Structure 1
Amino acid sequence: MPICQSCGKNWTWKQTFKTIFRLKCPHCGEKQYESASSRIRSGIFVIIPLIVLLPLNAWLDFSIGMALILAIVFVIIMFGFYPLILKLANEEEPYW
């Protein structure tokens, strides 16, 4: 779970999910940024389902509706796990 870099308090899964798009600490109110390593991990976390879903779709010849349902399921799973892989920083970090 993320730890605020300003006050050092752990965020719960629910607090993280509520602030997922603005990343403001629920304890001290300071703006936080996603760390570079966390952005890389979350990018990989998004690419892996695509790598799995696209060939699976071509191989099993899913209908558009079935592919859409699988994509929605993958998005829900990714949003559910995102608070677990999020790491915070006080400043916006470059990728390298």
Structure 2
Amino acid sequence: MPKCENCGVLWTWAQTVCRLCTLGEGMKCPSCREEQFVTMESRKKTSLFVFAAPLLMFISVAFGINPFASLALFLASFLIILGIYPFVIELTDERGPMW
């Protein structure tokens, strides 16, 4: 789970997911309200999650999987990624380069 660089509070899974669903670069710490940013290294790790959906669609088309089974596979992978994502990100109090 991410930890605030300013106050050291460990964020919960729900707090992390709620803050990830907001628009903008930074996320406010639930404890000290200071702006926190995802580290560059963390962004590189989580960028691999973006390729999950197109890969699943390609596999479904290539192997002729039933559309309902394909949708179920897509939703299951989405939930797994959503469950894992907060454990992978790390925070910093400095705004860094995008890559």
The two structures have a TM-score, normalised by structure 2, of 0.78
Matched, 1:75 2:78: yes
Q: Distance in 2 between matches of 1:63 and 1:89?
A: 44
AA partner of residue 10 (structure 1): L
Offset from partner CA, 1:64-93 (integer Å, 9 cap, x none): 232222111111111111110011111222
Give me the identity figure in percent.
Answer: 33
Contact 1:46 1:78 in 2 (8 A): no
The two structures have a TM-score, normalised by structure 1, of 0.80
Matched, 1:31 2:35: yes
Q: Distance in 2 between matches of 1:92 and 1:63?
A: 45
**Partner of residue 60, structure 1:** 63
Give the length in aligned residue pairs.
Answer: 95
Contact 2:4 2:11 in 1 (8 A): yes
Note the residue ranges of structure 1 that are not aligned, 5 or more in a row.
none
Note the residue ranges of structure 2 that are not aligned, 5 or more in a row.
none
Note the aligned Cα RMSD (angstroms): 2.0
